Chains A and B, each alone.
Chain A
Amino acid sequence: MVTAHPPTVRAAQPFRFGLTPVFLNSDLDLLEALQKYLSAAMGTEVQLVLKRTYQEITSQLLSGLLDAAWICGFPFVAYRRELELVAVPIWRGKTTYQSYLIVSEGREASTISDLRGDIHAFSDPDSNSGYLVTRALLAENGVKPQDFFQRTFFTYGHRNVVRAVAAGLAQSGSVDGYVWEVMTETEAALTRQTRPAWRSDWMGFPPIATARENASSNNIARLRQALWGMPQDRVGREVLNLLRLDGFAPGDPSLFDSIASRVDLVRTLG
């Protein structure tokens, strides 16, 4: 059979799935389980591609170097026309999450105005929860982060924001509420040194997206099926357990409308 039908070029290419450490805690156990599950569920070899920033992942996704990627709501909204939604994770029964402003444990602070003059840690300039939410909050007051804070820096990882605030390198940080909550279970010693001072409203959970022209391919259909069927599989449940997620839903682009309005706000007010 193999000799009768030589493999096509397309079939020889593995399915490339992009992830960033912004979101994931580079957990090798998780990566191994996810790769194993997707390969088996999709019936094709899946290659996990790790990049440091959302920007790298987004540009590779747009240029077709990646077949699909787990990105953030902010780049999804920003490149709404070029991207297509594949699936949205379900966390605690919902497809939404919050952004937290965290400060060190014991510090009195409940609004962003309490954080004026801080050294502030963001996670990624293309992250919704780790940058855009705080940026929009300041824009509402007509200020920019570099004017409001004494100094800001990017850690390119939500976990790193928690580390920076816990160690005292930053006095406050913008972090993904889901990541912070998961860390209270997995790294309680670290999160115990911090506390959320402010929580945003609920926004669409960072989705899995693909390039629009690729959206109708078989591989994407198989990826959708694999993600939706995750809770029914033993390895899939292992992956979900490591991620503390319930499963994946088809999702609706309107989930990200609140993020889109923040993008607009920031563009308007600078």
Chain B
Amino acid sequence: MKASSLDPRRWSLAFKAPLFVAAFMLVVSIVMTNAVLSRLRETQERHLSALSTIYLNGLAATLIPHVLRDDIWEIFDAIDRGASLEAGFGRATIVVVDAKGQTLAASVPKLAPVLSQQVGRDQAFQGDSSLIVDIDKARAFARRSLIYQGRRIGAIYVDYDVSHLLRERADVLRTLIGTNAAIAVFLAAFGYWVIRWMLGPLRTLTRHLDLGVAGTVQPIPAHAVAASTQEFGRLFRRFNVMAEAVNDREVIAKELANEERLASLGRLASGMAHEINNPLGGLFNAIDTLKRHGDKPNVRSSSLDLIERGLKGIRDVVRSALTVYRADRNPRNLVTADLDDLKLLIRPEIERRSLRLDWRNHLEADLPLPASAIRQVVLNLLLNAIQVSSLGSQVRLEAAVVGGDLVIEVLDCGPGFDEEARSVLTGEADRPPPIHSRTGSGLGLWMTHRLVHDLNGRTVIDTQLDGGSLVRVVIPLTPAEELRDVA
């Protein structure tokens, strides 16, 4: 469980709303149950009181003549028969006392023997009350004075078993809890369904945004827009407009990147022309020398030697250029020479800026990586390093296989990457390609990031103590498909 899932503010609406409904129902249930139970209690006690009064009146009418005569047996006989109550009351305990509070007879004489004092029974009753209900003992206690010709000749105390009334309350409580729980569960489930249904368009939007991260943003289909509510319809239409703009931007960025590549190609071509032009003067001189002194064997031999070296130089330069820009037509594995060729391509730029090139290519065998993509990445990084390095400083390349990864490091002596260039290159934020850039290298970096990303690699930029930056590209040698699934 993530820490965020403990924070209620971050819980899903589809969960929160039913929870709220359930909590609300709980409060309503408690209030309702209390109200119902207290009404039930009042009703039961009112009925019990009425019933008790009727019962005691009947009993008193029977008992008064016997009490007047102190006829213990007849009193006992009457209350023994009268103790068995109907309507769930079970057997009552009845005690009849005389005016002095002495027991005349009790339905259970062993609990209240004849002549025993029962004054304590009156103390439990407050004021003139004639009924007490003791919930804990599940019994009700009632009293009635026996009045004859205006004089009190004794009293009856009755204690009823009221457990059936308490059972009835418990039944009502159970029924209320059951019913309310069922309603709460139903409402919570209904709330969950309603919220999920209402938030359906949001899920559509989220899905399309997720798809957009990987590549082109997919507009929401027209039927989904038409089927949505007014609010979400507007949102969907705005999203579609935005998706179109983003996709256009992507296309433009690609075109610009291409143009950037062509621009650097032009720059390289002019360098190459210079490279070719240099030996050309020497070659024409050699041809001139041959024309004039070709008959001298040592002159002819040295001139031809010169021509051969010049032509070899031209051939190497042309071959490198061809290899770089034959991209993707014939994908093959990366070999050591692919990187070494780049040295030739950048030499004019290195010389133009009077830089020293420290070339440490430790690669030996073929690597299962697409040659053209890696070359493009390294070329972009080198060109960027050359561009930012101050005149006369050093640029270093180091390539090696470490563990299961190809690691390429390019060190420059420039001012370091600004924040924008850094985030473009490392892909720290999912951001659109930079259309404008002060240095003009933004698109090159963005292309580099996309290429590294496609190869499941990652880019790290270290700032050196003496200024300058170390760009490290790490590309796994494992087949790309497996990693893409994990990513």
Residues of A with Cβ closer than 8 Å to B? 119, 121, 150-151, 153-156, 160, 164, 167-170
Chain A's nearest CB lies how many Å from the CB of B100? 14
Q: Which 6 A-B pairs have the closest CB atoms?
A: A168-B109, A153-B72, A168-B110, A155-B73, A169-B109, A119-B114
Q: Which residue of the partner chain B has the closest CB to A152? A: B72
Q: Is B105 an interface residue (CB 8 A)?
A: yes
Interface secondary structure of A, over-half rule? mixed
- Which A residues are in CB contact (< 8 Å) with B105? 169
Chain B's nearest CB lies how many Å from the CB of A163? 8
Considering the chains assembled together, what is the distance between the CA atoms of A212 and B91 in angstroms? 52
Chain B's nearest CB lies how many Å from the CB of A221? 40
- Contact in complex: B76, A164 (CB < 8 Å): yes
Chain B's nearest CB lies how many Å from the CB of A51? 16
Considering the chains assembled together, what is the distance between the CA atoms of A168 and B72 in angstroms? 12
- Which B residues are in CB contact (< 8 Å) with A121? 73
Residues of B with Cβ closer than 8 Å to A? 70-73, 76-77, 80, 105-106, 108-110, 113-115
- Which A residues are in CB contact (< 8 Å) with B80? 167
- Contact in complex: B115, A169 (CB < 8 Å): no
- Which B residues are in CB contact (< 8 Å) with A154? 73
Q: Which residue among A121, A154, A160, A164 has the maximum number of chain B CB atoms within 10 Å of its CB?
A: A164
Considering the chains assembled together, what is the distance between the CA atoms of A154 and B73 in angstroms? 7
Besides A153-B72, A155-B73, A164-B73, 18 other A-B contacts (C-beta < 8 A): A119-B113, A119-B114, A121-B73, A150-B115, A151-B114, A151-B115, A153-B70, A156-B73, A160-B77, A167-B80, A168-B108, A168-B109, A169-B72, A169-B73, A169-B105, A169-B106, A169-B109, A169-B114
Q: Which residue of the partner chain A has the closest CB to B111? A: A168
Chain B's nearest CB lies how many Å from the CB of A199? 24
- Which A residues are in CB contact (< 8 Å) with B71? 153
Chain B's nearest CB lies how many Å from the CB of A106? 12
Considering the chains assembled together, what is the distance between the CA atoms of A167 and B110 in angstroms? 7
Considering the chains assembled together, what is the distance between the CA atoms of A156 and B106 in angstroms? 19
Q: Which residue of the partner chain B has the closest CB to A161? A: B73
Chain A's nearest CB lies how many Å from the CB of B117? 14
- Which B residues are in CB contact (< 8 Å) with A151? 72, 114-115
- Contact in complex: B73, A153 (CB < 8 Å): yes
Chain A's nearest CB lies how many Å from the CB of B114? 5
Considering the chains assembled together, what is the distance between the CA atoms of A153 and B74 in angstroms? 10
- Which B residues are in CB contact (< 8 Å) with A156? 73
Considering the chains assembled together, what is the distance between the CA atoms of A168 and B105 in angstroms? 10
- Which A residues are in CB contact (< 8 Å) with B72? 151, 153, 169
- Contact in complex: A168, B77 (CB < 8 Å): no
Considering the chains assembled together, what is the distance between the CA atoms of A154 and B74 in angstroms? 9
Chain B's nearest CB lies how many Å from the CB of A33? 26
Considering the chains assembled together, what is the distance between the CA atoms of A170 and B110 in angstroms? 10
- Which B residues are in CB contact (< 8 Å) with A164? 73, 76
Q: Which residue of the partner chain B has the closest CB to A169? A: B109
Q: Which residue of the partner chain B has the closest CB to A122? A: B73
Q: Which residue of the partner chain A has the closest CB to B106? A: A169
Considering the chains assembled together, what is the distance between the CA atoms of A113 and B114 in angstroms? 21
- Contact in complex: B73, A168 (CB < 8 Å): no
- Contact in complex: B115, A119 (CB < 8 Å): yes
- Which A residues are in CB contact (< 8 Å) with B76? 164, 167, 169
Chain B's nearest CB lies how many Å from the CB of A107? 13
- Which B residues are in CB contact (< 8 Å) with A119? 113-115
- Contact in complex: B73, A167 (CB < 8 Å): no
Chain A's nearest CB lies how many Å from the CB of B450? 103
Chain A's nearest CB lies how many Å from the CB of B304? 147
Q: Which residue of the partner chain A has the closest CB to B107? A: A167
Q: Which residue among A160, A167, A169 has the maximum number of chain B CB atoms within 10 Å of its CB?
A: A169
